[in-house]
Structure 1
Amino acid sequence: MSLALLIALSAWAFIFYVNMIDEVHDSIDDGLDNSKLLIIHEANQDSTVLYKTSFDEGNYAIRKMPADHALKHYDQYKDTLMYMENEHDLEPVRLLTTVFEAKENQFYELKVISSMVEEDDLIEDLFYSLLWLYLILMVTILVINALVLRSMWKPFFTYLNRLSQFKLEKNEKVQPIQSKTAEFQLLNKVVTEVLESNIRSFHNQKQLIENASHELQTPLAIALNKLQLLAENKELSEEIVKEIFQTIETLERLTRLNKSLLLLSKIENKQFRDEELVCFNELIQNILNEFQDQIEFKELELDLAFEGELKAQINPELARILITNLIKNAIRHNFKKGKIGILLTDSSLQISNSGTDKPLDPAKVFQRFHKESNDQSSTGLGLAIVKSIVDLSGYRISYNYALGIHQFMINFN
């Protein structure tokens, strides 16, 4: 708006200035026309006037010209410079060149001049007056515009700030704008309706996921217990027992999948709200102790390096899930007598492991249900959960591969 106003006023000032100059020239030209008529009248009365060929003693000069040239001539006005004896310098003048017919059918060229010194001063004064008026007007308009707009839009930006701090999971209402402006009242109504609809949808979705998970967990647990009891029946053949154990493994995988999907849903719905400063040095050491049997079973070489104390703001439960999934991933997708490396600094965590001799697809490695191996016990959700936790906490995770080593790095800056 201010830019449009600036352009409009600039255009207005330019047009006004051009019109004023045109008016000054018109006024001078009218004076020249009047002088022309007086000189022609005087020449018809006194023939000696026709012999004044220079501007030495007046504001006109006359010279005789052929009739064929005279008939093709028309009045011309132009600005030019002329040497003035009294000023001893070139001065601006307005020059009228015309042709008239005197007695005895003789044609003469008449040049009439009018000094523009005073007019130039007037134009200069007008220019600076207009410039100052334009600048003062612009500053005044911009200041008033800024004050009025700031006052007018203050409720809107206050409301915008409240909306930016709104969190679905906190179940808080956004205080509406206190304004009599019809547009702001309409904004209040629309935003309130949208937020209430989203809050209802959020809580319905949350309840549906929790109920579905609970309803699935119960029959799965019952089915597993019954199958385990059935497998203990000594009257069953070995082939049937084998089938039962395969079914148990499938149900256990389904149970893990159900828990992982529920966890992902909770993370994405931001149901883990309580954050605190977590020390990852202690957390990693504790989780490694839990996986010690698996590490020894695979005869993995563990290289643990703490180059600093890493403390980060994160939900403690999510921090444990994050580290557990990364270490479990490094063990599961490793080969016997492979290597695991954990490097901790005061701002980053790097977990690497030996594994397949080709890199994973960086674009798909954190996607749900993406699996590079044929491990049936894997749900394909471990790294997706890791990525969701890192994103929720406001950190960054990346994957790299070099010389047979797969590396996951979390940057906590």
Structure 2
Amino acid sequence: MKLLIRIFRYHIFASIIALVLGASLFYVSVRFLIDREVNQELFSSQAKVSWQLRNIDRLPVYILQLGDSLQLNAVRFPRKPSLTDNTLFDKTTREFQPYRQLTFYEQVEGQWYRVTISKQLIQRRQLLSAVVMTVTFIAALLLILLLLLNNWLSERVWRPFYKTLGSLDAYKLETHEILQFPKEPTIEFDQLNKSVSQLTARLATTYQNLKEFTENAAHEIQTPLAVIMSKIEGLLQDETLREPQIMSLLEVSEAANRLSKLNNVLLLLTKIENHQFLAGNEEINLVTIINRKLRDLEDLIETRRINMQTSLVPTGPVMNAALAEILVNNLLTNAIRHNVDQGTIKISLEPGKLVVSNTGNPIEVAPEQMFERFRKVSTNSSSIGLGLALVKTICQVNEMDLAYTVDSNWHVLTVSWK
């Protein structure tokens, strides 16, 4: 629709320019014709006056048209003839009126006379204005009708396109929907709709295959990992193992645990991005979730001797409850893991905003880069670099804003919503 509005504005602008230029050209043309006719009448009158002065012994009785005038003045020497526009006082109307004057010189019986013939222009100018205004009005009316007709036809012709565009805007891949459109009389739009239908069909098939592959891959990876962990636990119970062997098994166990955690987080990210979590329809009270997570992390907080400061107002966004749990857990875990011993964590919850601040070491990268997957600035082996990426994905899916700022030794993560 914006395209049609833009085209309609261009048409209006072009029509106004064409109307102004056309009206101006028409006015100049008509005025030129009227002035040429007046000049011809003046020259015709000049010929008549000259003939009467030369062939009649007395001053001529020259009959002019109504409103015109003739003046004879004796002069000593003649000058060049001239044709000028002037404004003279009309005794009949008692107003100043426009005139076209022709001045020429004739000699009668050895005496030179200056002859001035004046023709009134008021009626011709009124006629000119009336004609130009009438034609301009008719042209403007035609342009308006053409613009309205063109706009109506454009909307009618482009309606299928915007209908298709609206369907694409509302299209959700996770619903496996294949868009279907009725047959359109316009061949191009009908071909477009067929292409869109074929595209959505391929997308739905590809999405389903990808979803099944992800789920199957996660399941198949988790099964051998469980077997590996079970075998490691069994081997660790073997009393014949020496210390180097035990240390190697512990390293393998730690790597297997990291791989299992990585597999679970990547699967969770995929599910969130594919909108496999049901959308929430009620406001989540984050205070309950924050307090519960703080209790779960109490031992870790005490071990690190971290000072907790909270300012919580019972509020929260409208979102899936499970995603809210993951969001809060990752924010708090990140604040604890990347804090310093005997550091501080501040949690502020108010309508429309959750702020988690923690003391920590400076980072050498831009804060927004910390939302990238596998981005780590700590050598802590327990971190897989997906915590903040998971938080970012949850915020994007739920149309919330996430900001990361660093102020001196304070790291501030802000989640805001409407």
- The TM-score normalised by the length of structure 1 is 0.85
Give the distance between the partners of 1:221 and 1:361, measured in 2 at CA: 38
Deviations 1:163-197 (A, max 9, x none): 21111111123341553122321221222233223
The Cα shift of 1:408 comes to 1.0
The amino acid of 1:180's aligned partner reads P
Give the distance between the partners of 1:3 and 1:412, measured in 2 at CA: 43
Give the distance between the partners of 2:300 and 2:286, measured in 1 at CA: 21
Q: Give the aligned partner of residue 322 of structure 2.
A: 317
Give the distance between the partners of 1:3 and 1:177, measured in 2 at CA: 36
Give the distance between the partners of 1:57 and 1:220, measured in 2 at CA: 115
1:347 equivalent in alignment to 2:358:
no
Contact 1:156–1:177 (CA<8 Å) still a contact in 2? Answer: no
The Cα shift of 1:77 comes to 4.2
Runs of 4+ in 1 over 4 A off after TM superposition: 47-50, 60-67, 97-100, 102-111, 357-360
The Cα shift of 1:106 comes to 10
Q: Give the aligned partner of residue 42 of structure 1.
A: 52
Contact 1:354–1:405 (CA<8 Å) still a contact in 2? Answer: yes
Q: Give the aligned partner of residue 283 of structure 1.
A: 289
SS at match of 1:311: coil
The amino acid of 1:14's aligned partner reads S
1:18 equivalent in alignment to 2:28:
yes
The Cα shift of 1:402 comes to 3.0
Give the distance between the partners of 1:173 and 1:106, measured in 2 at CA: 105
Q: Give the aligned partner of residue 130 of structure 2.
A: 125
The Cα shift of 1:257 comes to 1.8
SS at match of 1:363: helix
Q: Give the aligned partner of residue 80 of structure 1.
A: 86
Give the distance between the partners of 2:308 and 2:359, measured in 1 at CA: 11
The Cα shift of 1:60 comes to 5.3
Contact 1:343–1:351 (CA<8 Å) still a contact in 2? Answer: yes
SS at match of 2:318: strand
SS at match of 1:204: helix
1:328 equivalent in alignment to 2:333:
yes
The Cα shift of 1:271 comes to 2.2
State the number of aligned residues.
402
Distance 1:328 1:83, change over 3 A: same
1:302 equivalent in alignment to 2:312:
no
The Cα shift of 1:99 comes to 7.0
The amino acid of 1:172's aligned partner reads E
Distance 1:358 1:262, change over 3 A: closer
Distance 1:377 1:105, change over 3 A: farther
- 5 Å-filtered alignment, 1:252-267, equals 252-267=257-272
User: What residue ranges of structure 2 are gaps of 5+ in the alignment?
Assistant: 1-10
1:204 equivalent in alignment to 2:209:
yes
Give the distance between the partners of 1:199 and 1:163, measured in 2 at CA: 14
SS at match of 1:373: coil
Distance 1:246 1:60, change over 3 A: farther
The amino acid of 1:168's aligned partner reads L
Deviations 1:7-64 (A, max 9, x none): 33333233222222222222222222222222233333237669x9xxx994355776
More displaced, 199-208 or 370-379?
A: 199-208
Give the distance between the partners of 1:409 and 1:265, measured in 2 at CA: 24
Deviations 1:339-376 (A, max 9, x none): 22221112211112222156862231211111111112
Q: Give the aligned partner of residue 400 of structure 1.
A: 405
The Cα shift of 1:110 comes to 5.4
- 5 Å-filtered alignment, 1:101-116, equals 111-116=116-121
Contact 1:65–1:109 (CA<8 Å) still a contact in 2? Answer: no
Deviations 1:199-258 (A, max 9, x none): 333333333333333332233332232233223322222112212211221222122222
SS at match of 1:16: helix
Distance 1:225 1:160, change over 3 A: same
Q: Give the aligned partner of residue 387 of structure 1.
A: 392
Contact 1:276–1:316 (CA<8 Å) still a contact in 2? Answer: no
The Cα shift of 1:116 comes to 0.2
SS at match of 1:371: coil
- The TM-score normalised by the length of structure 2 is 0.85
SS at match of 1:289: helix
Distance 1:234 1:10, change over 3 A: same
- Which of 191, 215, 224 is the equivalent residue of 2:220? 215
Contact 2:74–2:111 (CA<8 Å) still a contact in 1? Answer: no
SS at match of 1:312: coil
Give the distance between the partners of 2:210 and 2:115, measured in 1 at CA: 98
Give the distance between the partners of 2:354 and 2:142, measured in 1 at CA: 61
Over aligned residue pairs, what C-alpha RMSD do you find? 3.1
SS at match of 2:403: strand
Contact 2:355–2:413 (CA<8 Å) still a contact in 1? Answer: yes
The Cα shift of 1:115 comes to 0.7
Deviations 1:271-317 (A, max 9, x none): 224323222122222222222222222222222222x2213211222
Deviations 1:316-357 (A, max 9, x none): 221111111111111111223222222111221111222215
Q: Give the aligned partner of residue 293 of structure 1.
A: 299
Q: Give the aligned partner of residue 243 of structure 1.
A: 248
Distance 1:88 1:213, change over 3 A: same
Contact 1:359–1:406 (CA<8 Å) still a contact in 2? Answer: no
Contact 1:177–1:184 (CA<8 Å) still a contact in 2? Answer: no
Give the distance between the partners of 2:393 and 2:211, measured in 1 at CA: 17
Distance 1:40 1:201, change over 3 A: farther
- Which of 175, 178, 192 is the equivalent residue of 1:173? 178
SS at match of 1:276: coil
- 5 Å-filtered alignment, 1:218-237, equals 218-237=223-242
